[in-house]
A = this chain, B = another copy of it.
Amino acid sequence: MELSNSQEEYLKTIYILKNTKNEIRVTEIANKLNKTKASVNSAINSLKQIGLINYEPYGEIELTNEGEKIAQKIIEANDIVKLFLKEIIGATEINAEEEAKAIKTVLSDDTLNKIAKYTHKELGLTSLECGYDINNQRCITCARRKDNK
């Protein structure tokens, strides 16, 4: 099941908000993504349809297990690409943020893995523990998530 860029952004945002607030609101998502509440409403209903979030009108927004797994993958991809752009390429914080967001969607697992490995090597890390490794271990440098969860 292929997610659109837009859907991935919503999933990612929901996941991140979940680690900050206990209740996730339509309005918050709208603010974070600079969309209208109407758009968010429509987006979460489509994500509900495909089983990635649980939601009832006026209720709480919650990721399903499947949704959470996907969100984690998205965020990890985002993190590794951003780290790479900043630390290896020397992109500015703002550019790295924006570009990682867009790029992560289109990279194959294979290339993402190679970028992760390359980043680790260049940063002088001897043991590879990146989230993008097949065994899904956490990366000591790129997974901010480690601290949050």
The chain A residues found within 8 Å of chain B, CB to CB, are 85, 88-92, 95-96, 98-99, 102-103, 105-108, 110-111, 114-115, 118
How many copies the complex holds: the figure is 2
The answer to whether B118 touches A92 (Cβ under 8 A) is: no
Residue contacts A-B, CB under 8 angstroms, 26 given: A85-B111, A88-B118, A89-B111, A89-B114, A89-B115, A89-B118, A90-B114, A90-B118, A91-B108, A91-B110, A91-B114, A92-B110, A95-B108, A95-B110, A95-B111, A96-B111, A98-B106, A99-B107, A99-B108, A99-B111, A102-B103, A102-B105, A102-B106, A103-B103, A103-B106, A103-B107
A interface: dominant SS: helix
